[in-house]
Amino acid sequence: MEYQTQLLVVMIAYMAILIIYGMYQGRKVKTESDYAIAGRKLPGWAAALSERATGESSWALLGLPGAAYATGLTEIWTALGCVVGIITAWVVISWRLRAEAEKYEVNTFMDFIAKRHGESGKWLRIVGSTTIVFFFFFYVGAQFLGGGKTLHTMFDIDTTLGMVITALVIIPYTIYGGFRSVVYTDVIQAIVMIVTLVIGPIVGLVYLANHPELFASTIPEALDKAGPAYSKLTGVSGGFTAGIVIAGGFSWFFGYLGGQPQLSTRFMAITDAKEAKKARNIGVSWTVIAYIGALCLGWIGLAMFGPDGLEDRETVMPAVILKIFPPAIAAVLIMGAIAAMTSTANSLLILSSTELSENLINPLYKKQTNNILSRSRLITGLLAIIALGLAYVLPSTFIFTLVSWVWAGIGGTFSIVILFTLFWKKFHGKAAILTIVVGLVFTIVWITTGLDKELITARIVTFFVAGLTAVVSSLLIRK
Protein backbone atom coordinates (compact mmCIF):
# COMPACT_ATOMS: atom_id res chain seq x y z
CA MET A 1 0.00 0.00 0.00
CA GLU A 2 2.91 2.31 0.78
CA TYR A 3 4.27 1.77 -2.71
CA GLN A 4 0.88 2.41 -4.34
CA THR A 5 0.40 5.62 -2.36
CA GLN A 6 3.82 6.94 -3.32
CA LEU A 7 3.32 5.92 -6.93
CA LEU A 8 -0.05 7.68 -6.99
CA VAL A 9 1.43 10.89 -5.60
CA VAL A 10 4.27 10.82 -8.14
CA MET A 11 1.87 10.09 -11.00
CA ILE A 12 -0.52 12.92 -10.09
CA ALA A 13 2.37 15.38 -9.78
CA TYR A 14 3.87 14.24 -13.08
CA MET A 15 0.58 14.44 -14.97
CA ALA A 16 -0.12 17.89 -13.53
CA ILE A 17 3.28 19.10 -14.75
CA LEU A 18 2.55 17.71 -18.22
CA ILE A 19 -0.81 19.43 -18.49
CA ILE A 20 0.43 22.78 -17.16
CA TYR A 21 3.54 22.79 -19.36
CA GLY A 22 1.57 21.68 -22.41
CA MET A 23 -0.99 24.45 -21.94
CA TYR A 24 1.82 26.99 -21.43
CA GLN A 25 3.40 26.02 -24.75
CA GLY A 26 -0.02 26.18 -26.39
CA ARG A 27 -0.23 29.92 -25.63
CA LYS A 28 2.45 30.46 -28.29
CA VAL A 29 0.30 28.90 -31.04
CA LYS A 30 -1.11 31.69 -33.23
CA THR A 31 -1.46 30.17 -36.71
CA GLU A 32 -2.38 26.90 -38.37
CA SER A 33 1.30 26.33 -39.17
CA ASP A 34 2.13 26.71 -35.46
CA TYR A 35 -0.56 24.20 -34.62
CA ALA A 36 0.37 21.62 -37.27
CA ILE A 37 4.18 21.78 -37.29
CA ALA A 38 5.27 24.42 -34.73
CA GLY A 39 5.83 26.91 -37.55
CA ARG A 40 8.86 24.81 -38.61
CA LYS A 41 10.86 26.60 -35.90
CA LEU A 42 11.72 23.80 -33.50
CA PRO A 43 15.18 23.87 -31.88
CA GLY A 44 17.19 20.75 -32.60
CA TRP A 45 17.20 19.45 -29.02
CA ALA A 46 13.40 19.62 -28.78
CA ALA A 47 12.86 17.89 -32.14
CA ALA A 48 15.33 15.12 -31.29
CA LEU A 49 13.95 14.34 -27.84
CA SER A 50 10.36 14.49 -29.07
CA GLU A 51 11.13 12.18 -31.99
CA ARG A 52 12.78 9.67 -29.68
CA ALA A 53 10.00 9.73 -27.07
CA THR A 54 7.40 9.26 -29.81
CA GLY A 55 9.38 6.63 -31.69
CA GLU A 56 10.07 4.40 -28.73
CA SER A 57 6.65 4.50 -27.12
CA SER A 58 6.37 1.88 -24.38
CA TRP A 59 8.57 -0.34 -26.55
CA ALA A 60 11.84 0.78 -24.95
CA LEU A 61 10.51 0.56 -21.38
CA LEU A 62 8.30 -2.53 -21.54
CA GLY A 63 8.46 -4.32 -24.90
CA LEU A 64 12.21 -4.56 -25.53
CA PRO A 65 13.22 -5.42 -21.92
CA GLY A 66 10.45 -8.03 -21.92
CA ALA A 67 11.68 -9.55 -25.18
CA ALA A 68 15.29 -9.57 -23.90
CA TYR A 69 14.12 -11.31 -20.73
CA ALA A 70 12.22 -13.95 -22.74
CA THR A 71 14.72 -14.63 -25.55
CA GLY A 72 18.16 -13.62 -24.27
CA LEU A 73 20.77 -12.64 -26.85
CA THR A 74 18.42 -13.25 -29.79
CA GLU A 75 16.79 -9.89 -29.16
CA ILE A 76 20.05 -8.17 -30.11
CA TRP A 77 18.99 -8.44 -33.79
CA THR A 78 15.78 -6.52 -33.16
CA ALA A 79 17.66 -3.85 -31.23
CA LEU A 80 20.32 -3.67 -33.96
CA GLY A 81 17.69 -3.26 -36.68
CA CYS A 82 16.00 -0.45 -34.77
CA VAL A 83 19.23 1.35 -33.90
CA VAL A 84 20.66 1.16 -37.44
CA GLY A 85 17.32 2.33 -38.85
CA ILE A 86 17.12 5.28 -36.46
CA ILE A 87 20.73 6.30 -37.11
CA THR A 88 20.18 6.07 -40.88
CA ALA A 89 17.07 8.24 -40.58
CA TRP A 90 18.88 10.94 -38.61
CA VAL A 91 22.09 10.91 -40.69
CA VAL A 92 20.69 10.44 -44.20
CA ILE A 93 17.05 11.53 -44.24
CA SER A 94 16.35 14.09 -41.50
CA TRP A 95 18.22 17.10 -42.90
CA ARG A 96 16.89 16.47 -46.41
CA LEU A 97 13.30 16.35 -45.17
CA ARG A 98 13.87 19.54 -43.20
CA ALA A 99 15.22 21.34 -46.27
CA GLU A 100 12.35 20.09 -48.45
CA ALA A 101 9.75 21.11 -45.88
CA GLU A 102 11.20 24.62 -45.82
CA LYS A 103 11.39 24.79 -49.62
CA TYR A 104 7.76 23.75 -50.18
CA GLU A 105 6.41 25.43 -47.01
CA VAL A 106 4.55 22.32 -45.88
CA ASN A 107 2.57 21.71 -42.71
CA THR A 108 2.07 17.93 -42.73
CA PHE A 109 3.67 14.71 -43.90
CA MET A 110 1.31 14.23 -46.85
CA ASP A 111 1.43 17.95 -47.62
CA PHE A 112 5.11 17.48 -48.47
CA ILE A 113 4.55 14.41 -50.67
CA ALA A 114 1.61 16.07 -52.45
CA LYS A 115 3.49 19.33 -53.18
CA ARG A 116 6.59 17.42 -54.24
CA HIS A 117 4.50 15.49 -56.79
CA GLY A 118 2.27 18.38 -57.76
CA GLU A 119 0.80 16.74 -60.86
CA SER A 120 -0.96 14.16 -58.65
CA GLY A 121 -1.12 16.20 -55.45
CA LYS A 122 -4.89 16.11 -55.00
CA TRP A 123 -5.18 12.33 -55.17
CA LEU A 124 -2.05 11.81 -53.13
CA ARG A 125 -3.60 13.88 -50.34
CA ILE A 126 -6.83 11.89 -50.50
CA VAL A 127 -5.24 8.43 -50.66
CA GLY A 128 -2.32 9.07 -48.32
CA SER A 129 -4.07 11.12 -45.66
CA THR A 130 -7.10 8.81 -45.57
CA THR A 131 -4.80 5.85 -45.04
CA ILE A 132 -2.82 7.56 -42.29
CA VAL A 133 -5.89 8.88 -40.49
CA PHE A 134 -7.67 5.50 -40.56
CA PHE A 135 -4.82 3.40 -39.20
CA PHE A 136 -3.41 5.93 -36.74
CA PHE A 137 -6.92 6.64 -35.52
CA PHE A 138 -7.04 3.09 -34.16
CA TYR A 139 -3.46 3.47 -32.98
CA VAL A 140 -4.64 6.31 -30.72
CA GLY A 141 -7.38 4.04 -29.39
CA ALA A 142 -4.78 1.37 -28.67
CA GLN A 143 -2.77 3.85 -26.59
CA PHE A 144 -5.86 4.76 -24.57
CA LEU A 145 -6.53 1.06 -24.06
CA GLY A 146 -2.92 0.47 -23.02
CA GLY A 147 -3.16 3.34 -20.55
CA GLY A 148 -6.31 1.88 -19.06
CA LYS A 149 -4.69 -1.54 -18.63
CA THR A 150 -1.56 0.00 -17.08
CA LEU A 151 -3.55 1.97 -14.51
CA HIS A 152 -5.67 -1.11 -13.81
CA THR A 153 -2.51 -3.12 -13.09
CA MET A 154 -1.00 -0.39 -10.91
CA PHE A 155 -4.04 0.65 -8.87
CA ASP A 156 -6.66 -2.04 -9.54
CA ILE A 157 -9.08 0.50 -10.96
CA ASP A 158 -11.52 -0.28 -13.75
CA THR A 159 -9.84 -0.38 -17.18
CA THR A 160 -12.45 1.95 -18.66
CA LEU A 161 -11.82 4.52 -15.94
CA GLY A 162 -8.10 4.17 -16.62
CA MET A 163 -8.72 4.89 -20.31
CA VAL A 164 -10.68 8.02 -19.43
CA ILE A 165 -7.94 9.23 -17.08
CA THR A 166 -5.31 8.68 -19.78
CA ALA A 167 -7.38 10.64 -22.28
CA LEU A 168 -8.07 13.47 -19.83
CA VAL A 169 -4.33 13.95 -19.29
CA ILE A 170 -3.34 14.36 -22.93
CA ILE A 171 -6.45 15.73 -24.64
CA PRO A 172 -6.55 19.28 -23.14
CA TYR A 173 -3.05 20.41 -24.07
CA THR A 174 -3.09 18.51 -27.39
CA ILE A 175 -6.30 20.28 -28.44
CA TYR A 176 -5.05 23.66 -27.26
CA GLY A 177 -1.41 23.66 -28.34
CA GLY A 178 -1.33 21.07 -31.12
CA PHE A 179 2.05 19.93 -32.38
CA ARG A 180 3.95 22.49 -30.31
CA SER A 181 2.50 21.37 -26.99
CA VAL A 182 2.96 17.73 -27.94
CA VAL A 183 6.65 18.22 -28.80
CA TYR A 184 7.59 20.08 -25.63
CA THR A 185 5.77 17.66 -23.34
CA ASP A 186 7.55 14.86 -25.21
CA VAL A 187 10.84 16.46 -24.18
CA ILE A 188 9.98 15.91 -20.50
CA GLN A 189 9.01 12.33 -21.23
CA ALA A 190 12.19 11.58 -23.19
CA ILE A 191 14.25 12.77 -20.22
CA VAL A 192 12.28 10.57 -17.79
CA MET A 193 12.70 7.59 -20.11
CA ILE A 194 16.46 7.96 -20.58
CA VAL A 195 17.03 8.46 -16.83
CA THR A 196 15.22 5.17 -16.18
CA LEU A 197 17.22 3.37 -18.87
CA VAL A 198 20.56 4.65 -17.54
CA ILE A 199 20.16 4.50 -13.76
CA GLY A 200 18.17 1.24 -13.72
CA PRO A 201 20.83 -0.97 -15.38
CA ILE A 202 23.74 0.59 -13.44
CA VAL A 203 22.12 0.02 -10.04
CA GLY A 204 20.81 -3.37 -11.21
CA LEU A 205 24.30 -4.66 -12.04
CA VAL A 206 25.57 -3.55 -8.62
CA TYR A 207 22.59 -5.25 -6.97
CA LEU A 208 23.33 -8.54 -8.77
CA ALA A 209 26.95 -8.50 -7.66
CA ASN A 210 25.94 -8.03 -4.01
CA HIS A 211 23.18 -10.70 -3.94
CA PRO A 212 24.63 -14.14 -4.76
CA GLU A 213 21.39 -15.86 -3.68
CA LEU A 214 19.67 -14.77 -6.91
CA PHE A 215 19.42 -16.89 -10.05
CA ALA A 216 22.73 -15.40 -11.25
CA SER A 217 25.24 -12.76 -10.16
CA THR A 218 26.04 -11.45 -13.64
CA ILE A 219 24.32 -11.19 -17.00
CA PRO A 220 26.64 -13.72 -18.76
CA GLU A 221 26.05 -16.22 -15.96
CA ALA A 222 22.29 -15.73 -16.24
CA LEU A 223 22.32 -16.31 -20.00
CA ASP A 224 24.44 -19.47 -19.62
CA LYS A 225 22.29 -20.91 -16.84
CA ALA A 226 19.09 -20.21 -18.79
CA GLY A 227 20.33 -22.44 -21.63
CA PRO A 228 21.33 -22.20 -25.31
CA ALA A 229 18.02 -20.59 -26.29
CA TYR A 230 19.18 -17.56 -24.30
CA SER A 231 22.97 -17.64 -24.65
CA LYS A 232 23.24 -17.90 -28.45
CA LEU A 233 22.58 -15.08 -30.93
CA THR A 234 20.07 -17.15 -32.88
CA GLY A 235 18.75 -19.22 -29.98
CA VAL A 236 18.33 -22.90 -30.86
CA SER A 237 17.89 -22.12 -34.57
CA GLY A 238 20.48 -22.99 -37.17
CA GLY A 239 21.04 -22.77 -40.91
CA PHE A 240 18.20 -21.21 -42.90
CA THR A 241 16.02 -20.86 -39.80
CA ALA A 242 18.75 -18.85 -38.09
CA GLY A 243 18.78 -16.53 -41.11
CA ILE A 244 15.03 -16.05 -40.75
CA VAL A 245 15.50 -15.18 -37.07
CA ILE A 246 18.15 -12.59 -37.90
CA ALA A 247 16.14 -11.13 -40.78
CA GLY A 248 12.96 -10.98 -38.70
CA GLY A 249 14.68 -9.06 -35.93
CA PHE A 250 16.59 -6.72 -38.22
CA SER A 251 13.45 -6.04 -40.29
CA TRP A 252 12.45 -3.20 -37.96
CA PHE A 253 15.15 -1.23 -39.79
CA PHE A 254 12.91 -0.64 -42.83
CA GLY A 255 10.13 1.15 -40.95
CA TYR A 256 12.45 3.93 -39.77
CA LEU A 257 13.48 5.17 -43.23
CA GLY A 258 11.09 8.11 -43.31
CA GLY A 259 7.92 6.04 -43.44
CA GLN A 260 6.56 6.79 -39.97
CA PRO A 261 4.75 10.15 -40.34
CA GLN A 262 4.77 10.91 -36.62
CA LEU A 263 8.60 10.77 -36.70
CA SER A 264 9.21 12.43 -40.05
CA THR A 265 7.23 15.52 -39.06
CA ARG A 266 9.79 16.10 -36.30
CA PHE A 267 12.54 16.24 -38.94
CA MET A 268 10.46 18.63 -41.04
CA ALA A 269 9.81 20.99 -38.11
CA ILE A 270 13.47 21.76 -37.28
CA THR A 271 14.23 25.45 -37.75
CA ASP A 272 17.48 25.33 -39.77
CA ALA A 273 20.42 23.18 -40.91
CA LYS A 274 22.56 24.03 -37.88
CA GLU A 275 19.84 22.87 -35.51
CA ALA A 276 19.34 19.76 -37.64
CA LYS A 277 22.95 18.72 -36.90
CA LYS A 278 22.39 19.20 -33.18
CA ALA A 279 19.21 17.16 -33.40
CA ARG A 280 21.02 14.36 -35.24
CA ASN A 281 23.71 14.10 -32.56
CA ILE A 282 21.19 14.11 -29.72
CA GLY A 283 18.86 11.64 -31.45
CA VAL A 284 21.61 9.14 -32.24
CA SER A 285 23.18 9.37 -28.76
CA TRP A 286 19.81 8.94 -27.02
CA THR A 287 19.02 5.88 -29.15
CA VAL A 288 22.28 4.02 -28.53
CA ILE A 289 22.17 4.62 -24.77
CA ALA A 290 18.47 3.77 -24.49
CA TYR A 291 18.67 0.49 -26.39
CA ILE A 292 21.68 -0.73 -24.44
CA GLY A 293 19.84 0.12 -21.22
CA ALA A 294 16.63 -1.60 -22.30
CA LEU A 295 18.42 -4.83 -23.22
CA CYS A 296 20.36 -4.80 -19.97
CA LEU A 297 17.19 -4.33 -17.91
CA GLY A 298 15.72 -7.46 -19.51
CA TRP A 299 18.85 -9.51 -18.89
CA ILE A 300 19.17 -8.22 -15.32
CA GLY A 301 15.58 -9.39 -14.80
CA LEU A 302 16.63 -12.82 -16.09
CA ALA A 303 19.46 -12.90 -13.52
CA MET A 304 17.10 -11.86 -10.71
CA PHE A 305 14.04 -13.98 -11.39
CA GLY A 306 15.21 -16.76 -13.71
CA PRO A 307 13.56 -17.61 -17.06
CA ASP A 308 10.27 -18.70 -15.41
CA GLY A 309 10.12 -16.18 -12.61
CA LEU A 310 7.68 -13.72 -14.19
CA GLU A 311 4.19 -14.51 -15.42
CA ASP A 312 4.17 -11.56 -17.84
CA ARG A 313 7.55 -10.86 -19.44
CA GLU A 314 6.67 -7.22 -20.13
CA THR A 315 6.55 -6.51 -16.40
CA VAL A 316 10.30 -7.13 -16.10
CA MET A 317 11.24 -3.43 -16.07
CA PRO A 318 8.92 -2.45 -13.17
CA ALA A 319 9.78 -5.71 -11.39
CA VAL A 320 13.51 -4.96 -11.55
CA ILE A 321 13.08 -1.32 -10.57
CA LEU A 322 10.90 -2.23 -7.56
CA LYS A 323 13.47 -4.80 -6.48
CA ILE A 324 16.49 -2.49 -6.47
CA PHE A 325 15.06 0.91 -5.46
CA PRO A 326 13.03 2.25 -2.53
CA PRO A 327 9.34 2.79 -3.38
CA ALA A 328 9.59 6.57 -3.86
CA ILE A 329 12.50 6.36 -6.33
CA ALA A 330 10.95 3.34 -8.05
CA ALA A 331 7.74 5.30 -8.52
CA VAL A 332 9.59 8.09 -10.31
CA LEU A 333 11.45 5.70 -12.60
CA ILE A 334 8.39 3.58 -13.42
CA MET A 335 6.75 6.77 -14.63
CA GLY A 336 9.05 6.27 -17.63
CA ALA A 337 6.66 3.62 -18.92
CA ILE A 338 3.66 5.92 -18.56
CA ALA A 339 5.70 8.73 -20.10
CA ALA A 340 6.38 6.59 -23.15
CA MET A 341 2.72 5.66 -23.51
CA THR A 342 1.38 9.22 -23.30
CA SER A 343 4.04 10.60 -25.66
CA THR A 344 2.88 8.20 -28.35
CA ALA A 345 -0.81 8.85 -27.78
CA ASN A 346 -0.56 12.64 -28.09
CA SER A 347 1.74 12.44 -31.13
CA LEU A 348 -0.57 10.07 -32.99
CA LEU A 349 -3.60 12.16 -32.09
CA ILE A 350 -2.16 15.41 -33.44
CA LEU A 351 -0.83 13.61 -36.53
CA SER A 352 -4.28 12.20 -37.35
CA SER A 353 -5.94 15.54 -36.66
CA THR A 354 -3.62 17.66 -38.82
CA GLU A 355 -3.65 15.19 -41.71
CA LEU A 356 -7.44 15.18 -41.63
CA SER A 357 -7.90 18.93 -41.32
CA GLU A 358 -5.05 20.10 -43.59
CA ASN A 359 -5.43 17.61 -46.43
CA LEU A 360 -9.03 16.41 -46.39
CA ILE A 361 -11.29 18.99 -44.71
CA ASN A 362 -9.72 22.43 -45.25
CA PRO A 363 -9.47 21.97 -49.05
CA LEU A 364 -13.28 21.65 -49.10
CA TYR A 365 -13.60 25.29 -48.05
CA LYS A 366 -13.09 27.55 -51.05
CA LYS A 367 -12.64 30.64 -48.89
CA GLN A 368 -10.14 30.13 -46.10
CA THR A 369 -11.22 32.22 -43.11
CA ASN A 370 -9.65 33.05 -39.79
CA ASN A 371 -11.32 30.12 -38.07
CA ILE A 372 -8.95 27.48 -39.52
CA LEU A 373 -7.13 27.14 -36.20
CA SER A 374 -10.38 26.76 -34.28
CA ARG A 375 -11.54 24.13 -36.77
CA SER A 376 -8.30 22.17 -36.30
CA ARG A 377 -8.74 22.21 -32.53
CA LEU A 378 -12.34 21.03 -32.88
CA ILE A 379 -11.26 18.16 -35.16
CA THR A 380 -8.57 17.13 -32.67
CA GLY A 381 -11.12 16.98 -29.86
CA LEU A 382 -13.64 15.00 -31.91
CA LEU A 383 -11.01 12.49 -33.02
CA ALA A 384 -9.90 11.97 -29.44
CA ILE A 385 -13.45 11.34 -28.23
CA ILE A 386 -14.23 8.92 -31.08
CA ALA A 387 -10.93 7.05 -30.59
CA LEU A 388 -11.70 6.70 -26.88
CA GLY A 389 -15.17 5.41 -27.73
CA LEU A 390 -13.82 2.86 -30.19
CA ALA A 391 -11.28 1.64 -27.65
CA TYR A 392 -14.21 1.02 -25.28
CA VAL A 393 -16.58 -0.58 -27.81
CA LEU A 394 -14.34 -2.62 -30.12
CA PRO A 395 -12.52 -5.80 -29.01
CA SER A 396 -8.91 -5.10 -28.09
CA THR A 397 -7.80 -7.91 -30.43
CA PHE A 398 -9.33 -6.04 -33.39
CA ILE A 399 -7.66 -2.77 -32.44
CA PHE A 400 -4.24 -4.34 -31.96
CA THR A 401 -4.58 -6.26 -35.24
CA LEU A 402 -5.00 -2.96 -37.07
CA VAL A 403 -2.05 -1.54 -35.16
CA SER A 404 0.06 -4.52 -36.24
CA TRP A 405 -0.44 -3.43 -39.85
CA VAL A 406 0.98 0.02 -39.17
CA TRP A 407 4.69 -0.74 -38.98
CA ALA A 408 4.72 -2.86 -42.14
CA GLY A 409 1.89 -1.26 -44.11
CA ILE A 410 2.50 2.37 -43.23
CA GLY A 411 6.21 2.21 -42.29
CA GLY A 412 7.43 -0.03 -45.12
CA THR A 413 5.26 1.56 -47.80
CA PHE A 414 5.81 5.22 -46.96
CA SER A 415 9.53 4.62 -46.41
CA ILE A 416 9.72 3.70 -50.10
CA VAL A 417 7.67 6.77 -51.06
CA ILE A 418 9.91 9.09 -49.04
CA LEU A 419 13.19 7.51 -50.18
CA PHE A 420 12.23 7.56 -53.86
CA THR A 421 10.85 11.09 -53.57
CA LEU A 422 14.12 12.33 -52.10
CA PHE A 423 16.58 10.32 -54.18
CA TRP A 424 15.08 9.34 -57.58
CA LYS A 425 14.00 11.98 -60.07
CA LYS A 426 11.98 9.56 -62.22
CA PHE A 427 9.64 8.75 -59.35
CA HIS A 428 6.37 10.64 -59.83
CA GLY A 429 2.92 11.14 -58.30
CA LYS A 430 1.05 8.35 -60.08
CA ALA A 431 3.76 5.89 -59.07
CA ALA A 432 3.51 7.14 -55.48
CA ILE A 433 -0.26 6.53 -55.39
CA LEU A 434 0.17 3.00 -56.77
CA THR A 435 2.95 2.29 -54.28
CA ILE A 436 0.77 3.33 -51.33
CA VAL A 437 -2.22 1.26 -52.47
CA VAL A 438 -0.22 -1.86 -53.37
CA GLY A 439 1.90 -1.71 -50.20
CA LEU A 440 -1.09 -1.45 -47.87
CA VAL A 441 -3.23 -4.06 -49.62
CA PHE A 442 -0.30 -6.47 -49.77
CA THR A 443 0.41 -6.01 -46.05
CA ILE A 444 -3.20 -6.70 -45.07
CA VAL A 445 -3.35 -9.84 -47.24
CA TRP A 446 0.06 -11.10 -46.09
CA ILE A 447 -0.75 -10.74 -42.39
CA THR A 448 -4.38 -11.91 -42.45
CA THR A 449 -3.48 -15.08 -44.37
CA GLY A 450 -0.88 -16.01 -41.75
CA LEU A 451 2.11 -15.75 -44.06
CA ASP A 452 3.64 -13.16 -41.74
CA LYS A 453 4.24 -15.91 -39.16
CA GLU A 454 4.58 -18.93 -41.45
CA LEU A 455 7.15 -17.54 -43.89
CA ILE A 456 8.69 -14.14 -43.20
CA THR A 457 7.56 -10.93 -41.56
CA ALA A 458 5.61 -8.36 -43.58
CA ARG A 459 8.06 -5.70 -42.36
CA ILE A 460 10.56 -7.05 -44.90
CA VAL A 461 8.30 -8.24 -47.70
CA THR A 462 6.14 -5.10 -47.86
CA PHE A 463 9.21 -2.87 -48.14
CA PHE A 464 10.49 -4.76 -51.19
CA VAL A 465 7.05 -5.21 -52.79
CA ALA A 466 6.42 -1.47 -52.43
CA GLY A 467 9.90 -0.77 -53.81
CA LEU A 468 9.31 -3.00 -56.84
CA THR A 469 5.93 -1.33 -57.43
CA ALA A 470 7.56 2.11 -57.27
CA VAL A 471 10.27 1.18 -59.78
CA VAL A 472 8.01 -0.58 -62.29
CA SER A 473 5.23 2.04 -62.18
CA SER A 474 7.75 4.91 -62.50
CA LEU A 475 9.21 3.32 -65.64
CA LEU A 476 5.98 2.14 -67.28
CA ILE A 477 3.59 4.98 -66.45
CA ARG A 478 4.26 8.39 -67.95
CA LYS A 479 4.55 11.34 -65.58
Residues 100/422, Cβ–Cβ less than 8 Å: yes
Domain-embedded: residue 162: yes
Domain-embedded: residue 310: yes
Q: Which domain holds residue 247?
A: 2-386
pTM of the model: 0.89
Cα 82 from Cα 340, distance rounded (Å): 17
Say what the pLDDT of residue 375 is: 82
pLDDT digits 0-9 by tens, 68-86? 998 889 889 989 999 999 9
Determine the angle formed by the axes of helices 76-88 and 273-305, rounding to 10 degrees: 170
Facing residues of 270 across strands?
Answer: 42
Of residues 456, 332, 433, 342, the one with CA closest to residue 125: 433
Domain-embedded: residue 361: yes
| Three-class secondary structure of residue 395 per DSSP | coil
Domain-embedded: residue 328: yes
pLDDT digits 0-9 by tens, 458-467? 888 999 999 9
Domain-embedded: residue 403: no
pLDDT at 258 over 60: yes
Please report, for residues 106, 269, 290, 326, 350, the alpha-carbon distance to residue 39 in angstroms, rounded to integers and kept in the order given: 10, 7, 29, 43, 15
Residues 262/182, Cβ–Cβ less than 8 Å: no
pLDDT at 267 over 90: yes
Domain-embedded: residue 464: no
Say what the pLDDT of residue 411 is: 87
Domain-embedded: residue 457: no
pLDDT band at 404 (very low <50, low <70, confident <90, very high): low
- Compute, in degrees rounded to 10, the torsion defined by CA atoms 316, 333, 57, 97: -140
| Three-class secondary structure of residue 270 per DSSP | strand
- Read off the CATH number of the domain in which 180 is found: 1.20.1730.10
pLDDT band at 240 (very low <50, low <70, confident <90, very high): low
* Domains contained in the chain, number: 1
pLDDT at 369 over 70: no
pLDDT digits 0-9 by tens, 125-151? 999 998 888 888 777 887 787 777 777
